[in-house]
Structure 1
Amino acid sequence: MKICIVTRNIMKGDGQSRVNYEIAWEAIRCGHDVTMLASSVDLELQQSPQAHWIEIQVQKWPTQILGGLAFSWQCARWLARHRAGLDVVMVNGANTNERSDINAVHFVHTSWLRSHVHPWQLRRDLYGAYQWLFSALNAYWEKKAFQKTNIVVAVSEKVKQELLNIGVPSDRIRVILNGVDLHEFSPGTSDRLKLGLPEGVTLALFVGDILTSRKNLDSVLRALVNTPDLHLAVAGTTEGSPFPKLVSDLNLSQRVHFLGFRRDVSELMKGADFFVFPSRYEACTLVLLEAIASGLPVITANSAGGAEIITPDCGIVLPDSEDIQALAEALTKLASDRNQRDRMGHAARAIAERHSWTSIAQKYVEIFEELTKVQVQV
């Protein structure tokens, strides 16, 4: 089978890039040929004889909008010339306007545009206006792209609902959650002192972008005021972040530990007692999967895509990300009972083991093979 994957990056990184990386390798392991229309591709993947990289250069374009348009146009032009030689074409969202067989949806811009934490709702300036234009254009392009495909894969139940809300028929939607590296993220212990973490205290961990309020660190900090025996470690770039000042204003400086941007998140998770991430808007966050794979109980919110896999056995899912009192109660519940945390951590790992990258990639390859069989029958 000859498969074509269209996406900006196919790397062992985060999010969409990692999903496509795993799909490409699984397809190759199954004996298929993979053509990749992308701007960057993992070096080892490039070296596989079954992988073929068509480089799509967009670096010269000065904005995301123009870069996206250039990528879409170049991919569409290549596909128009070579489509007959391909069995399956998988695109990601609106990254090309050419007809596809599968569209993997990692984000729905129509829903993001309506979110109360969209930059345009928070900043009525040039930056906010640009973000509004970027989201509005992508929302329009996505709707057109979803009409030009056979199967739409949503990366969470939340994304599925967002697709239904914009008119994608339910019988064309499949849900395949993102995966997790079960070797990199696994239960264990680490030396808190070497990681810059406080010793001898109960420690919650928050990981994410803290430059804006989207991930909801502000609510976590306000809830922490009512959880006096708990410390919080925060991994994320602090330059330009409003939260160090908020910590000072709330008199939490002795209990909140900013770690800056970190690449050793798996080690940080081994040093924490539980994970807190009540994000106000996520399509399907990898960090929740990484936390449960590390054997951590989690506190999250319904507004975080992927939260549907968090059961009461392994964590707490808040119905409302803005309910600071409920968040404080959840923090207190986990902070006060080590035995409960241990039980929840074991249950968390068991759930994560059903979401390995290999198992997730296999589901996509099964859809490829299903589509090929249908084409043969026709």
Structure 2
Amino acid sequence: MKALFLAGGKGTRLRPITNELPKPMVPVVGKPLLERNIERLKEHGVDEVVLSTCYKPYKIEKYFGNGEKLGIKINYISEDIPLGTAGAIKNAEEFFDDTFIVFNADILSDINISDMIRWHKEKGAFATIATTEVDDPSAYGVIEYDEKGFVTAFKEKPKPHETDSNLINAGIYIFEPELFNEIPSGRTVSIERETYPQLLEKGKKIAVYNKCSYWLDLGTPDKYIKAHKDILNGDFKMLNHDFKKSPQYISSTAKIHQNAKIVGPCYIGENVEIGAHAVVGPDTFLGDNSRVGASSKIIGSVIWDNARVEKGALIANSVIMSNCKVDMNTEERNVILTEGVCHPIAV
């Protein structure tokens, strides 16, 4: 089975984290989100992926290469200008001649791709859309479906009285290769707003797969922090460590002063140093080679690799990016620190 990752987005809402980094390369618990998702698909028998890139594609290609280090074949196709979701799929037509998966590269999900493929085949579907439930669907495009699990309508940002459905598109699809015949080439095309409604009009069978118990779009800084909190609290399982049973993960190479206080849930990476009387946690991730000075305090935050928090500093609900330093006795709440500049997070 082959998969196409739509990895061309600029991640505008995630800035400044994505100022110099493609959104799929943003680290989640120390590894790029795209790598995490490729690893998850590999567990379900996907042995070849195509990465559709647009924004800073060289950074993605330099990191992944041909996929050898992940034990999977990786091909690349790049857009000179954004082509939209369906346009990007059409652009990758040369790589697919059988049933294939499409995965938005900026989401975290516990979806069982093997089970979704089984469902797609069982339904004899032309396309299958993974969905997730939301409390208030009025801000989304809603999917209505029948008792057999097939789409009956797409409604864009409906008012509460205009739909009984609370299912939205989760950004994971399975298609038959005949889909390429339904997408025009050479222009921007949206799968959600153009292709799917047209398929429905033509009577194509579009199945709904509604078995995602966890789904999150890492579109904003607050959701980026939430993703780490969910992982550390065991609400989304990404690591081999069971945070429900043992809320602290501390690497064997970490150097923690005996008078420091570690409050779970938290993750402390390789070669981390934590000084005397420092407090780390709860809901805190410390990346490899990070340094935490004496009497400092870090709560609910994500500290990337090689970052430094100096003596007496307080960090709360923030992201400190790689190679950044938080000065002595400073207080930072709800910020992203990049290259010495603090950017406030909307709360």
- Alignment TM-score > 0.5, same fold: no
- Of structures 1 and 2, the one scoring higher in RCO (CA 8 A, sep 6+) is 1
More helix by share: 1
Q: Under a length normalisation based on structure 1, what TM-score does the superposition of the two structures give? A: 0.31
